[in-house]
Amino acid sequence: MLKVNVIGIGPGNPDLLTGEAKKAIAESTILAGDRRMVAQFGEGKRVYPTIKLSELAEVAASADAQKDILGILVSGDVGFFSLAKTIAGKLPECEVKRYCGISSLVYFASKLQMSWDDAKIISMHGRKQNLIAAVLQHTKVFSLTGGDNSPQALCRQLCNQGLGEVMVHVGSNLSYPEEEIVSGTAAEIAEGNFPSLSVMMILNEKAGGPLKQAVHGLDDGLFLRGKAPMTKQEIRAVSISKLQPRPDDTIFDIGAGTGSCSVELALQAPLGKLYAFEMKEDALELLQLNKERFHCDNMEILAGEASEKIREMPVPDCVFIGGSSGNMAKMLDILYEKNPECRIVMNVIALETLCAVVEYYKNRPEFELDVVNIASAYNKKLGRYNLMMAQNPIYIITAIKKEK
């Protein structure tokens, strides 16, 4: 069995290699990795300047397990947004061992004379994470940058959302002779010119407000409203508890209305994506305004009949259905075609819709229905008295896949 060393080389300067990493490189007869990395350490070894998994697998397959040791060099630490995650389990018949390195976060924080254990960590390098929401919620945010998401581009986004005064530290070419660390407000950094592959530490002393709360069930008054229907706070809280969205889920909100559920679900899945489907013009306008109000960059709004659009969308992990326009059975069929394990929660007012859902699942014995009826009332001040004003009863239906 071929031995494979996956070696974190830190920010890049050989002086920052751990002792174990140096030994792992020394014993490797073959080195693969980014061209700049293997150029530093490849003397006297067979070198393959590649980070493509298919090519790394070919290198491993062609090596002599009796004589060779393959070293794969990765930047930073093997457990921090690393190629090591891509490699894991993908090199058959190989004994893989990881060697840790100094991550860009650890190195940059030390240069800033700053702790990093309280930082919110995200990556904007090849990922669509919600930087704006992170900065609004956390006083300290560390971000990798890359591609179109350069430091100046990301700071322009911060400025567009009224965050031009937050303090930003940018680190470029870390640990190399041309290393540069620049500090300024987001507005100042937005006017600069930095390498795309950099890191940022963003400090927002005013972080907090409703977005900082860890629970769902935001106050109704926080949302912009109109004549379009809105799922109320208590119903949202129970519905989202039933749906159990995960941070990296792909979520559909069908019949999004003003977007109260869309916003909450997008905030619950900062590493995922929320697709909000709505067909009414007045609701679409409010939906867009509430998306902007809560800085939900991971929300995409789709206008039109949902049952005609969801076929072409990515596979959902969970779905909230607030309205079906009479197409419930058709919609559920399409959703289960895309993902038989999809978690689905429906809010229903009309008895006809309730009956249609129950009838649908009679033919799906692999599911169990959980039905909760909520009847709520709000107090209204009349003179010196408080009277309770009843709201429409809501059926919250959860389709649960039975365990085999």
The verdict on 244 and 365 lying in the same domain is: yes
Per-residue pLDDT of the chain (404 residues; tens, 9 = 90+): 999 999 999 998 999 999 999 999 999 999 999 998 999 998 899 999 999 999 999 999 999 999 999 999 999 999 998 989 888 888 988 999 999 999 999 999 999 999 999 999 999 987 777 888 889 889 999 999 999 999 999 999 999 888 999 999 999 999 999 999 999 999 999 999 999 999 999 999 988 765 555 567 888 888 998 877 789 999 999 999 999 999 889 999 999 999 999 999 998 888 889 999 999 998 999 999 999 888 888 999 999 988 889 999 999 999 999 987 778 999 999 999 999 999 999 999 999 999 999 999 999 999 999 999 999 898 999 989 999 999 889 999 999 888 87
What's the rounded Cα separation, in Å, for the pair 350 and 329?
A: 15
**Domain total of the chain:** 3
The sign of the CA dihedral 308, 314, 319, 322 is negative
Residue with tokens 């969801």, as numbered in its chain: 310
Burial annotation 378-392 (CB, 10 A radius, 16+ → b, else e): eeeeeeeeeeeeeee
pLDDT, tens digit, 9 for 90 and up, residues 12-37: 899 999 999 999 999 999 999 999 89
Assessment of whether the complete model's pTM goes beyond 0.75: no
User: Which alpha helices (DSSP H) does 138-254 contain, by range?
Assistant: 151-160, 186-189, 233-243
The verdict on 229 and 361 lying in the same domain is: yes
The verdict on 251 and 373 lying in the same domain is: yes
pLDDT, tens digit, 9 for 90 and up, residues 250-260: 999 999 999 99
The verdict on 62 and 171 lying in the same domain is: no
Q: Which residue segment(s) compose the domain that 235 sits in?
A: 213-401
pLDDT, tens digit, 9 for 90 and up, residues 366-401: 999 999 999 989 899 998 999 999 988 999 999 988
Domain boundary among the residues 50, 85, 102 is at: 102
The verdict on 273 and 371 lying in the same domain is: yes
The verdict on 205 and 252 lying in the same domain is: no
**Token pair of 243, please?**
């749906």
The verdict on 149 and 292 lying in the same domain is: no
